[in-house]
Each structure stands twice: as structure tokens, then as C-alpha cells.
Amino acid sequence: MKTATLLDYGVGNLHSLSKGLENAGLRVKVTENARELLKASAIVLPGVGGFAAGAPKLAPVREELRARLQEGTPCLAVCLGMQLLFESSEEARGKGLGLLPGVVRRLEHRRLPHIGWNQVRSSDAEMFAGVPQNAFFYFVHSFAPSPCVDACAATCDYGRPFAAAVRAGRTWGVQFHPEKSSANGLTLLRNFARSLQAWS
């Protein structure tokens, strides 16, 4: 059984994501020490908290972690975790990992945060294998990257189109919460777990 190391930013409950990953067939190790990610065989950046909490947590290992991801260490980045893959965010000061170019921007909608189910149009056959096109996933966010990023793997629309998923090599990022997205979310988590076997 493969182990995924999940970083705890220290601002919220990671139980649902941990259980979702376990149900997908992974062993989960939770750590508050970002340096543990540098020796992990697979990394999970969760979606709990805001950019102001996540960016400082990654700051001490930013360059090394980006290098690890570029070298091919598998990573699943959820919601805030996906935003941290980019250079910066309008939400707060601080630097993201810079694995992907660009700035995460506030959604253009009168009602924020965007909370609830919304349709996702996917273009990555591996990430979304077994998931119907225009399937619904569960979102909780006010910020998101533009859909025009080179790594965009799925889009959604809330006030404006935004990137609902990104893919950069073995790094998968999703703006929605797969652990709260019922069968479609579990399918995506299983796809990630399956990909770890293929990449080993």
C-alpha cells in the first residue's frame, strides 16, 4: 500500500481528506513539519485554511519542494493546496511554490465564497477517468487561477470561468474538494492512488 504524506497547516480538520485517501487505497501520514514532504514518496497539500496560513508553512522548503515536484514526486493539491502551486495570490501576501506561473485571483461574483456543487468540464483523461463530463463537484473558495493557464485540466464557471483542475507532470491540483464530492470525488482520489502504482 502506497503512503501519501499530508501537510497540516495547523488551521483545520483534515479528517475528511484523510479518510477519502484511505478509502481510495492509500496509507496516510499527517505531518505539521513541511520538511517531511521532501522525503515523501507522495505529497498531499490539503484545502484547509487560506493563503496566509499555507504560504508561510511552505516558505522554509519552497525551493526544495518545487524541485522535488519538478523531478516527479507525485502530489495531489486540493483547493488552497492547488492555489499554492502558483506564484502568488490576491488573497494574502506571500509566495506560492511557483511550480505554475501566474497569480490566483478573487472570483468575480456578487456572492462569495463559492460554496456548493458546480459542474466541471474536464480535459485530462487520467485524472477524470470514470467521471462523466460536466460532473458535479463540491467547492468552497473565493479565489482561483485563470482557466488560461497552460496546465489547466478542467474548468468551472462562477461569475467567470476559472481553472477547476491543473496538471503539471505528476502534480495534480483540484480547486474543488474531492473528499466532499461523493462518488465523483472518490473516483478522482482512486485515480490518483492508481497513478502512484503506475509511476512507481
Span 69-113, pLDDT tens digits? 999 999 999 999 999 999 999 999 999 999 999 999 999 998 999
Active site residue 79: yes
The per-residue pLDDT of the chain, averaged, comes to 95
The residue type at 33: N
Active-site residue identified among 91, 141, 156, 177: 177
Active site includes 179?
yes
Q: What is the pLDDT of residues 117-137, one digit of tens each?
A: 999 999 999 999 999 999 999
What is the grid cell recorded at 159?
461569475
From the candidates 79, 91, 141, 152, which is the catalytic residue? 79
Q: DSSP characters for 136-183?
A: EEEEEESEE--TTSTTEEEEEEESEEEEEEEEETTEEEESS-GGGSHH
Domain segments of the chain as ranges: 3-199
Q: How confident is residue 200, by pLDDT bands cut at 50, 70 and 90?
A: low
Q: What is the third-level CATH fold of 3-199?
A: Rossmann fold (3.40.50)
Q: Are 164 and 154 in contact (CB under 8 A)?
A: yes
Give the confidence band of 165 by pLDDT, cuts at 50, 70, 90.
very high
